[in-house]
Amino acid sequence: MHFFQEFRTETKLLLLVAIAVVILVLGGVLLLKVGLGPSSPTPPPPAPAPSPQAQTEEVDTSAWQTYRNDEFGFEVKYPKNFVNKEYPSGIRSSEVFGIQFVDQKWGEGHYPSLTISVIETELSPREWLEKYSDPVSESSPGDIPEPAVGYRNAQDTIVNGRTALSVEFIATSDMSNSTLIQGESNRLYHIDAISSGLGDFPQEAYSQILSTFRFVD
């Protein structure tokens, strides 16, 4: 009888230990779940913002005036607030015709303007440039700096399917952005946007006027 009592006591102890172990295991699992919480996917990094693109505003030239010269075979549009005036030829080498376009707001004087001249020559645009103008020279270290005079940044290009040359001219009192276009019958067409001490000729206007230049029969 005493043996059976001890057996029941040991069995009870084993059951209590087993129950305690189960409770501890379940409690640990529960604590882990509560501590970690539900797993959620890591949000993807934000996509880089697209870099802003420079937007070039195109000027509406539909209301512009048109200048046409049948003698020298070209046509060009210019802003309605501009006026034009022919000037005596021969100011530039081999020049046979010249016309000036200027904003009406400018009075008489050395103001910003755009000129178109016709040059009779058998030379190409680059050959003419190198014959009648010198490149801007750079002073060597120790030299007394002299005013930059001449041309720079000469680059071959195409305008309306014709061979052309874009170049910058620098003088003592002004500078200009120029385009020399190869025409027919040994002619060059020189489009020159001239800036002065009174201000710069607008680069956008120069580009738009140049884009409307075309040859006519």
For 214, phi then psi, to 5°, come to -150, 155
Dump pLDDT digits (tens) for 152-208: 999 999 998 999 999 999 987 778 999 999 998 899 999 999 987 667 888 899 999
Assess contact for 151 and 167: CB atoms under 8 A: yes
Return d(Cα 39, Cα 61) in angstroms, integer: 63
138 pLDDT more than 80? no
Dump pLDDT digits (tens) for 70-98: 999 999 999 999 999 998 877 667 899 99
Return d(Cα 95, Cα 161) in angstroms, integer: 23
Neighbours of 204 (CB within 10 A): 11
Residue in the block written with tokens 């700096």:
145
